[in-house]
Amino acid sequence: MKADLPKPVLVVDFGAQYAQLIARRVRELGLYSEIVSHHLTAAEILAKQPSAILLSGGPASVYEDKAPVVGGDLFASDVPIFGICYGFQYMAQKLGGEVGKTGIREYGSTELTINSESSLFSGLSSKFQVWMSHGDSVTKAPAGFDITASTASCRIASFENRPRRLAGVQYHPEVIHSKYGNEVLSRFLFEIAGLQPNWTTDQILDDAVLGVRNQVGTGLAICGLSGGVDSAVAAAIVQKAIGDQLTAVFVDHGLLRTGEREQVEQDFVNATGTKLVVVDARDRFLKALEGISDPEQKRKIIGAQFIRVFEESAKNLVTKSSGEVKFLVQGTLYPDVVESGGGSSTATIKSHHNVGGLPDDLKFELVEPLRTLFKDEVRTVGRSLGLPESIVGRHPFPGPGLAIRIVGAVDQSRLDILRAADAIARLELEKSGLNDSVWQFPVVLLADVRSVGVQGDGRTYGHPIVLRPVSSEDAMTADWSRLPYELIAKISSRITNEVPEVNRVVLDVTSKPPGTIEWE
């Protein structure tokens, strides 16, 4: 029996990379939120009894023949609706306004000017920076709407019709680059839509546990435990739901960082009491990856090998009394799904080994209790489950491990080089007291690149190491972390002195977008 959920704030996904981020912002404000596809009809969306509807952005133009639309008239209802970017233009067009290509584009940080009384912006600064990403503009607002803000290049950057509880903005209030973003969403949801907070993390956990029980029933499950926070929390949820029906399988694929196997064997088992099987598959993975440089191939090979190992482990767990293991638990998060092309009309950025890298002949039914959550929600759930901070507060680490932090083919020698450099960077960051200020700190080996250096009064021809510290709230957008130069210098000095094969350390100062957090 699924937990009774509040009436949802629905986010209609028009193909935006940020659709789930909008839903997450709504949850942060204490309201239950779900994402629905624009392929649903208005009748199907309204049948979900939404308390409010948010229309996401998207890459298309509303006037194109194949532009995403919701079948039927969504605006004939009295449900409060808020449009963002494409959703703003969609609302304008559907209600009799006009949208066109003005020849002026706005991308990135832009100054917004509030030019009339507004429920969305009341009490805020008259001018502030917002995040724009559009080539089309609303050129005429629908009848009955007040134009409330503009930019230097966009005359209609927001509008609202308070009596009908309809409003929209051209920019993206959901991203951290937009000042007052949460305040604007809050104004719409609580003041214009008239909603009250109704959603907590405890409800997320309760619903996830009940969902697992419904799916697995009396069956047996194994969990692909990586040692990261995602798989650990997923396993803990499933353990809470089905107890001894779960066995965690930790695969040492040889692509781990220093000390990770020991941390899993000690911290996770002590915290949860979960049955743990450790499989040493280092030789197997290295052989499968031999000579492979293409990052997509690496991910798919690693994903396929994981599943083969799990299948073999499942067979070894079968006894006459226990029966067959039919379920595989994974710590898939929504950003993994989006970047693997699993969103509505979204592009594939890169395959994640537990999403796009799974083999077609998968013999398990996947159990993914975190699939709709972001990292910060996962950490909160983990703390509610009593997991230690050594696991819950751990920096994200990709399932394919160090294989995708080696730009080039993977072999034991290159893994040893990267593992040594990574251990130095992590230790110095921890010693500095700045570990919690950084979202993630990939250390990357440019294995196919050599640079000339001078070490020990002699010429060297070594590898460069890239330091990639980033700050983020959700991994959907990120910026490079401004760590003290003294810390960067110390890390660089130790790596070049203690790792003989490395003679150069560089700092990656690229944001996301345009770059991704991981290099591969």
- DSSP sequence for 492-511: HHHHHHH-TTEEEEEE----
- In sequence order, which ranges of 385-478 are alpha helices (DSSP H)? 389-392, 412-432
For residues 205 and 443, the model is more confident at 443
Strands in 196-312 per DSSP E:
220-225, 246-252, 275-280
Per-position b or e across 386-406, b if 16+ CB within 10 A of its CB: ebbeebbebbbbbbbbbbbbb
**Locate tokens 């510290």: which residue?**
469
Burial class (CB in 10 A: 0-12, 13-18, 19+), 470: buried
- Position 338 scores a pLDDT of 58
| Residue whose C-alpha is closest to residue 414's, from 425, 406, 423 | 406
Q: Tokens 């609202």, residue? A: 160
Interatomic CA distance for residues 406 and 63, integer angstroms: 44
Catalytic residues: 85, 172, 174
Burial of 514 (0-12, 13-18, 19+ CB in 10 A): exposed
* C-alpha to C-alpha distance for 49 and 34, rounded to whole angstroms: 12
Q: Return the half-sphere exposure (C-beta side, CA atoms, 13 A cut-off) of residue 412.
A: 5
Average pLDDT over residues 35-51: 94
Note the pLDDT of residue 350.
Answer: 44
Is 149's pLDDT higher than 50?
yes
Q: Is the pLDDT of residue 90 over 70?
A: yes
The pLDDT score that the predictor gives to residue 457 is 62
pLDDT of residue 456: 66
Asked if residue 74 has pLDDT above 80, the reply is: yes
Note whether 171 and 112 are within 8 A (CB). yes
> Are the beta carbons of 150 and 119 closer than 8 angstroms?
no
| Residue whose entry in the numeric block shows the structure tokens 């920076």 | 129
Helix, strand, coil share (%) of the chain residues, nearest 5: 35, 25, 40
8 A C-beta contact, residue 137 and residue 102: yes
Q: How far apart are CA 164 and CA 172, in angstroms?
A: 22
Q: Which tens digits make up the pLDDT trace of 151-190?
A: 988 999 999 999 999 999 999 999 888 999 999 999 999 9
**What 3 state SS string does 82-147 have?**
EEECHHHHHHHHHCCCEEEEEEEEEEEEEEEEECCCCCCCCCCCCEEEEEEEEEEEEEECCCCCEE
Query: Among 176-185, 227-236, 327-336, 339-348, whose mean pLDDT is lowest?
Result: 339-348
Per the structure block, which two tokens stand in for 351? 């395959």
Mean pLDDT of all residues in 271-290: 90
Tell me which range, 208-217, 366-375, 449-458, is most confidently predicted by mean pLDDT: 208-217
Could you tell me what percent of the chain has a pLDDT over 90? Answer: 55
Share of residues in the chain with pLDDT > 70 (%):
92
Give the 3-state secondary structure of residue 162. helix
